[in-house]
Amino acid sequence: QLFDFDLDYLGDGDFAEFSLGSGGERMMTVRPGSYSLNELVPAGWALTGSACKGGESVRLDGGDDHAVVAVRYGDNVVCTFTNELLPTITVEKTANASGSFEFTLSTEGRSNTQPVATGGSYTWTVVPDVYNLVEEVPLGAYWSFTGVECEGIEEGELLDDGAAFWVGYGDEVTC
């Protein structure tokens, strides 16, 4: 995965744009002044940390996705951005006959319901948290919920109509 960065010299605009892979680094010689270093976080990833260090005049003053650094002659500044792959939760529907079923994925204060046809699937990209995945059995139909199996769960439990589980960065759960 490549991560894109934009380094701007404050007052003059763009200075450099570059991409780095995991563990990659880029060295640049810059003139004294203030710079804004921004990471454009790709879909499916989260920026979980950023830090800059080096030189007495370094000032870290930024938001979640950028750092503003003041540099003087002789400073050697190193900025580190840490990213984590967001977890995914996939539901795959199997049934004895064709049909469409609704699955609700919920966590405290939020929920999302998606239709999934027999033989189909749906994937949510989520943030780390505890989730409930529940199948809504169609009313008045001749369907009954007979069970659920989930892969990729380290902490969780099976419910009468679904599953409850914790997902962390990088987890891929399939039920």
DSSP string, 58-121: ------TTEEEEEE-TT---EEEEEEEEPPEEEEE---SS--EEEEEEEETTEEEEEEEETT-E
Q: Are 140 and 109 in contact (CB under 8 A)?
A: no
pLDDT, tens only, 21-65: 999 999 999 888 888 888 999 999 999 888 888 755 555 555 566
Mean pLDDT of the chain: 88
Higher pLDDT, 141 or 120: 120
- Look at residues 69, 33, 72 and name the one whose alpha carbon lies nearest to residue 50: 69
CA–CA dist 107, 45 (Å, integer): 20
Res 55: pLDDT: 58
CA 105 to chain centre: 17
Quote the DSSP letter at residue 42: P
pLDDT, tens only, 55-94: 555 555 555 667 788 888 888 889 889 999 999 999 999 9
What is the mean pLDDT of the segment spanning 137-164? 83
pLDDT above 60 for 103: yes
- Start-to-end Cα distance in the chain: 27
Res 57: pLDDT: 53
pTM, two decimals, is 0.82
- The amino acid at residue 72 is R
Helix (H, G, I), strand (E, B) or coil at 48: strand
- Look at residues 5, 48, 46 and name the one whose alpha carbon lies nearest to residue 24: 5
Q: Are 74 and 38 in contact (CB under 8 A)?
A: no
What is the mean pLDDT of the segment spanning 143-166? 86
